[in-house]
A = this chain, B = another copy of it.
Amino acid sequence: MTTPHADSTWNALIQRWQELSDLGDVGSVLGWDQSTFLPPAAAAGRARQMALLAGIRHARATDAAYGTLLDAAQARSDWSPVQARTLAVARREFEEATRFPAAFVQAFSQHTGKSYSAWVEARPANDFARMVPYLERTLELSLQAASYFPEFASPMDYFIDQSDEGMTADVVDQVFAELRAALVPIVDAVAQAPAPRTDFLFRTYPVATQLELGQEIARAYGYDSSRGRQDLTAHPFMTRLGDRDVRITTRVKENDLTETLYSTLHETGHALYEQGVGAELLGTPLGGGVSSGVHESQSRLWENLVGRSRAFWAAYFPRFRDAFPEQLADVTEDEMYRAMNAAQRSVIRTDADELTYNLHVITRYELERDLLAGRLAAGDLADAWHAAYETNVGLRAPSDVDGALQDVHWYGGGIGGAFQAYTLGNVMSAQFYAAAQRALATLEADTARGEFAALHGWLREQVYAPGGTFKPAELVERVTGEAMTVGPYVAYLRSKYGALYGLN
């Protein structure tokens, strides 16, 4: 990294960025407490506190004097590359914060609140029709949001760029088309093969021991507990409460050995990314993970490429058998590995396994794309959903409850850009992992001994330390030597599931 010029403009910007970062982190403290420890009666007051703080941050993020400062800085050409990139990211956030008229933001937020409340009732009632007018209005508002950014070729391009800067619908379309073409035959073949035994996963596993094991592996991965902690929430997440305070949450089920383990490893992957950002970038616009897709690549890499690998279970099966001697008395290491990778078609995205998960995402992406392009009417979404599931997943949900009403995203937020980053993350995770394999000769052998320092160190240097310095596609190219491509991911899945299900 080039040492930044320490002139007055730069120093003034650094100070503003630090404040914006700190205010964002304070908001995260409120959000973390809301999900972990907030007393039930305090919910309304907490919502008011969070809105107040968001308003204060928004006022500072859109301050005219800040805009003038950015203008002055960007008019100059004597910045280092990192400084120039920092200014570009700051500008991007400034535009995002300033272009929406306040009345639009308020209208969108009010509509979203009403839509969410309606969905909470409509979903259990399987009442898609009730949601149609809400969806129509959400679509309208989503298109209006994109219209404030006319520099993008399409609304979908704007939404994709929001979550992964520089990526476009054309790129995603192609990646997803290739991926679907490769996945569908594998899923078909797996469906024909005998299923592994999974019965033992659902025996009784005391929750305290499950939590201990998850934390033990998180620390082995490289999670720094002096800069974070783990708590319990209804929905697991990773959150940054400060530049040295990156927390994760999990949930635990006494009768499910997979829930705590893999939600912990997933959130640990996100946390390793945030904990690994270079100290010199903290508090600046580059001081976090660069994009949703790259973030997901790290959660998936640690959860799946490492945590569901044969080598991982060579390291940890003995530990699990020590922890649960009676529950795992009749289970072999190989059975454990196979059970943790059991794959089958299903209609619920969040329950889907590593192999079939992407088909759920691709389906949603395509429906979003068609809605935004005017090729699909909101009123036809439920039928289109079932048809797309038959094509992509090979299954049809028995009702809209598990169909178009399944996910909260479109009902409690906007339409566009909500899903594709999950699968882009999977694709990139395999590229990064393949590059790590080339760089680290003993990668699998290390994993088989429960040693992750080399992998963690390599990822920290290659992916985490740069923070937001490189755009996602640029980062992939720098680290892997090639553009984003499904090749390594498809090869990984073919090889893994081929061996698991005897498909070769």
Chain A residues near B (Cβ < 8 Å)? 18-19, 22-23, 25-26, 29-30, 33, 37-42, 44-46, 48-49, 52-53, 56, 224-229, 231, 241-245, 247
**Least CB distance, A77 to chain B, in whole angstroms:** 33
Among residues of B, the one whose C-beta sits closest to the C-beta of A60 is B56
A44: chain B residues at CB < 8 Å are 244
11 contacts between A and B (CB under 8 A): A18-B48, A22-B49, A26-B49, A29-B29, A33-B241, A37-B231, A40-B226, A41-B245, A42-B242, A45-B243, A46-B242
Among residues of B, the one whose C-beta sits closest to the C-beta of A37 is B229
Complex-state Cα separation, A89 to B12, whole angstroms = 37
Complex-state Cα separation, A292 to B448, whole angstroms = 61
A247: chain B residues at CB < 8 Å are 39
**Least CB distance, A240 to chain B, in whole angstroms:** 10
A227: chain B residues at CB < 8 Å are 39, 41-42
A229 with B53: CB separation less than 8 A: no
Q: A22-B48, A40-B226, A42-B245 are in contact. List 12 more A-B contacts (CB 8 A).
A: A22-B45, A22-B49, A23-B52, A29-B49, A33-B241, A37-B231, A39-B227, A39-B228, A41-B244, A42-B244, A45-B243, A56-B56
A46: chain B residues at CB < 8 Å are 242, 245
Among residues of B, the one whose C-beta sits closest to the C-beta of A38 is B245
A56: chain B residues at CB < 8 Å are 56
B244 with A45: CB separation less than 8 A: yes
**Least CB distance, A19 to chain B, in whole angstroms:** 6
A39: chain B residues at CB < 8 Å are 225-229, 244-245, 247
B42 with A241: CB separation less than 8 A: yes
Known: A39-B228, A227-B39. A49 touches B19 (CB 8 A): no
Other-chain residue from B19, B30, B40 in contact with A29 (beta carbon distance below 8 A): B30
A52: chain B residues at CB < 8 Å are 19, 22-23, 26
Known: A229-B37, A244-B45. A26 touches B25 (CB 8 A): no
**Least CB distance, A40 to chain B, in whole angstroms:** 5
Complex-state Cα separation, A49 to B25, whole angstroms = 8
Complex-state Cα separation, A19 to B37, whole angstroms = 23
Complex-state Cα separation, A22 to B30, whole angstroms = 12
A241: chain B residues at CB < 8 Å are 33, 42
Other-chain residue from B25, B45, B228 in contact with A242 (beta carbon distance below 8 A): B45
A245: chain B residues at CB < 8 Å are 38-39, 41-42, 45-46
A244: chain B residues at CB < 8 Å are 39, 41-42, 44-45
Sort A-B residue pairs by CB-CB distance and give the 10 closest, nearest first. Answer: A42-B245, A45-B242, A41-B244, A41-B227, A41-B226, A42-B244, A42-B242, A40-B226, A22-B49, A22-B52
Complex-state Cα separation, A37 to B239, whole angstroms = 14
**Least CB distance, A27 to chain B, in whole angstroms:** 9
A22: chain B residues at CB < 8 Å are 45, 48-49, 52
Complex-state Cα separation, A227 to B39, whole angstroms = 5
A25 with B37: CB separation less than 8 A: no
Complex-state Cα separation, A305 to B361, whole angstroms = 64
**Least CB distance, A18 to chain B, in whole angstroms:** 8
**Least CB distance, A44 to chain B, in whole angstroms:** 8
Known: A38-B245, A39-B227, A56-B56. A45 touches B25 (CB 8 A): yes
Complex-state Cα separation, A28 to B310, whole angstroms = 48
Complex-state Cα separation, A38 to B29, whole angstroms = 10
Among residues of B, the one whose C-beta sits closest to the C-beta of A227 is B41
Among residues of B, the one whose C-beta sits closest to the C-beta of A242 is B45
A45: chain B residues at CB < 8 Å are 22, 25, 242-245
**Least CB distance, A323 to chain B, in whole angstroms:** 22
Among residues of B, the one whose C-beta sits closest to the C-beta of A44 is B244
Among residues of B, the one whose C-beta sits closest to the C-beta of A52 is B22
Complex-state Cα separation, A280 to B106, whole angstroms = 28
**Least CB distance, A341 to chain B, in whole angstroms:** 33
Known: A49-B242, A52-B19. A30 touches B26 (CB 8 A): yes
Complex-state Cα separation, A49 to B240, whole angstroms = 13
